[in-house]
Amino acid sequence: MATYQLKVNGKSQTVEASEDTPLLWILRDHLDLVGTKFGCGIAQCGACTVHLDGNAVRSCSLPIASVQNQEITTIEGLSEDGSHPVQKAWKAVDVPQCGYCQAGQIMTASAFLEKNPAPTEEEIKNAMHGNICRCASYNRIYKAVEMAAE
Ligand code: FES
């Protein structure tokens, strides 16, 4: 066990954990930020996506020891009231079906649009390609990302 200093959603957090504990479990079990979901645990599905210094990363495969002093943003920190353009577009398009993968989808989409605010349809599909949705809400996801970019 060791002590780690994290910056999560703009707040400093001190956490005791073993060095190989994945960030996902720190967020969920230590900080009670349960919007970030566990899907596969092997960086394949995207359900656990958060931002690390603005980049979309898979928190299930990032040990706590590797994320100190970087800005971590979870779905809870994207906006206080669901007013982020991607969240608004998600609501307008009514994207979710079961909802489980949606936080990861939104975090991937928001990091992508930050870097590419006017993407083509193909760029949107490529950017979202690694986030799996078992309900296959892909067409609504693409539409919402397109809407958020406008
Ligand atoms: Fe992390 Fe699937 S739970 S990518």
State which ligand 1 atom lies nearest to the alpha carbon of 24.
Answer: 1
Asked which of 22, 50, 78 is the last residue of a domain, the reply is 78
Tell whether 11 and 44 lie within a shared domain: yes
Euclidean distance between CA atoms 69 and 5, whole angstroms: 7
Pull the structure tokens for residue 22: 């994945």
Indicate which residue's Cα is closest to atom 4 of ligand 1: 43
| pLDDT of amino acid 52 | 98
**Per-residue pLDDT tens over the stretch 26-85:** 999 999 999 999 999 999 999 999 999 999 999 999 999 999 989 999 999 999 899 999
In the reported structure, the alpha carbon of residue 30 is separated from the centroid of ligand 1 by a whole-number distance in angstroms of 18
In the reported structure, the alpha carbon of residue 50 is separated from the centroid of ligand 1 by a whole-number distance in angstroms of 11
Ligand 1 pocket (Cβ < 6 Å) reads: 38-41, 43-48, 58, 60
**Domain encompassing residue 59:** 2-78
Q: What is the mean pLDDT of residues 2-7?
A: 97
Model confidence band, residue 150 (pLDDT cutoffs 50, 70, 90): confident
**Per-residue pLDDT tens over the stretch 68-79:** 989 999 999 999
In the reported structure, the alpha carbon of residue 45 is separated from the centroid of ligand 1 by a whole-number distance in angstroms of 5
Model confidence band, residue 96 (pLDDT cutoffs 50, 70, 90): very high
State which ligand 1 atom lies nearest to the alpha carbon of 48.
Answer: 1
Contact 93, 143 (CB under 8 A): yes
Asked which of 57, 78, 99 is the last residue of a domain, the reply is 78
Q: How many residues does the chain have?
A: 150
Task: Reduce the secondary structure of the chain to three states and give it as a string.
Answer: CEEEEEEECCEEEEEEECCCCEHHHHHHHHCCCCCCCCCCCCCCCCCCEEEECCEEEEHHHCEHHHCCCCEEECHHHHCCCCCCHHHHHHHHHCCCCCCCCHHHHHHHHHHHHHHCCCCCHHHHHHHHCCCCCCCCCHHHHHHHHHHHHC
Tell whether 11 and 73 lie within a shared domain: yes
What CATH code is carried by the domain that includes residue 109?
1.10.150.120
Q: What is the value of ipTM here, to two decimals?
A: 0.98
User: Is residue 101 over pLDDT 90?
Assistant: yes
Residue 79 corresponds to which amino acid? S
In the reported structure, the alpha carbon of residue 91 is separated from the centroid of ligand 1 by a whole-number distance in angstroms of 24
Q: What is the mean pLDDT of residues 123-137?
A: 97
